[in-house]
Amino acid sequence: MTLRTLLGSAALAALLPCATLAQVMSLDEPDEQAPIQDGEEPLIRMNKDDPSYDVWKLLRDDLSKGREPGPINIQRLRGGFPWQGMPTFFHMPVALTPEDLKAGEVDIAIFGAEMYNGMRVQSYGPMEMRAPMKSEVYHNWGFHMPELDSGLAALDELNVVDYGNAPVHPLSMEISIPEVRKFVAEVAGIELENGNRTIPIIIGGGHVLMYPDAAGLTDVYGKGNLQIIHFDAHADQAPVGFGVYNTHGNPVRRLVEEGFINGEDIIQIGLRGPNSTDLNGVAWNRESGLRYHMMAEVERRGWQAVMDDVLAEARANGKPLFLSFDIDVVDPAFIPGTSTPEPGGMYMREALPLVRRICAENNLVGMEIVELRPERDPGYISVQNSKAILRQCLNGIAMAKHNLPDNYLHPDIVDDGK
């Protein structure tokens, strides 16, 4: 019996020691590179006679009935407190169709995509990010206070909408991937009068999202014409995971080996811990040209020096930027509600300014926040801090709109004038 046959049994796989599992996750044989071998049946067999076969992705045919295209403000009152009104991302208007995005000159379309494999393992991350109970205490809607670094209120500077959720199959990530990819491309393909395109921001959901999200962006901006800044405690470049090609542990390798992203166009930040990768994985990173800044480098060189390098590398690249932010890059003291927490991570005071500057100083064309699992946090800080990361990205986009200089901070905020 071969090792691969043994791994076909989940029960036996669970008994393998960690070292053996690490070796298995690093298998890199030629016959593991093609998604489906000749003469091999697809993993997922579908019954197309089932009346619920594609109901999960069927659009209503009356989305625009009785109205002109454009975002819809579903709040009855002009403004209010977080506990009032109908929950949307930041209480912003809703858009339902690409025509709404186009007519509304929408800068940012935020939407959810769970991408966990099964109805009973969903995280409710996108829904919790909409609901203000755990994330907003005094961020009122209808009027927005400026951020105390840029001096800008991003939600007044940008046209931001809640674009609902991408179609996701309730039982299969593999079937969901092409639908999410099309959804991302649909949003990113909206051309605005100012010459820009709508920026999709995707809230997940497992990090398998990185694969369809980045692939969808390359459908608009071109294969090999996208750079990625990847915040994560884990490298996510395993060749396979128990024979499955698309998992939360291998989107980086899939994107590189399938030609969507060049290895030298990926910058990884925050890798750490024994389950992040192994030396074989590090060797693959180096051979493929990826740049990585592990927490060990931060320990040796200091956070400011590493942050300066990341920003310089992204600006020098010059390609449109996709920001993939796995919240487990942050230390679980600040975000415990995640799938694979790893101690020794970034502090929020490190993450927020770096995200703000990345989004302000580059041509950002998409962002994702992934691996949020609020139910694993009995409190509120995971959603609160995840939403703070999203707010700082919006803050940075607003700064870019005003052509503010690199590393800008409002002078009245950093100097009392005395």
Q: Indicate the range of 299-308, 332-341, 371-380 predicted with least confidence.
A: 371-380
Pure H helices in 44-193: 98-103, 125-130, 154-157, 173-188
SS3 94: strand
Sign, CA torsion 196/101/135/375: negative
Longest dimension (CA), the chain: 77
Pure H helices in 173-302: 173-188, 210-221, 251-257, 279-288, 295-301
Structure confidence at residue 41 as a pLDDT band (50, 70, 90): low
Structure confidence at residue 118 as a pLDDT band (50, 70, 90): low
Beta-sheet strands, E only, within 127-212: 160-165, 199-203
Q: What is the pTM of this model?
A: 0.88
pLDDT score, position 121: 65
Q: If 0-12 CB within 10 Å is exposed, 13-18 middle and 19+ buried, where does residue 132 land?
A: buried
Architecture per CATH, domain 66-414, reads as 3-Layer(aba) Sandwich (3.40)
pLDDT score, position 249: 73
Structure confidence at residue 18 as a pLDDT band (50, 70, 90): very low
Q: Which two tokens stand for residue 300?
A: 């040796």
Mean pLDDT calculated for residue range 43-64: 84
The model's pLDDT over 245-268, given as tens digits with 9 standing for 90+, comes to 777 778 899 999 999 999 999 999
pLDDT at 38 over 80: no
Mean pLDDT calculated for residue range 69-92: 91
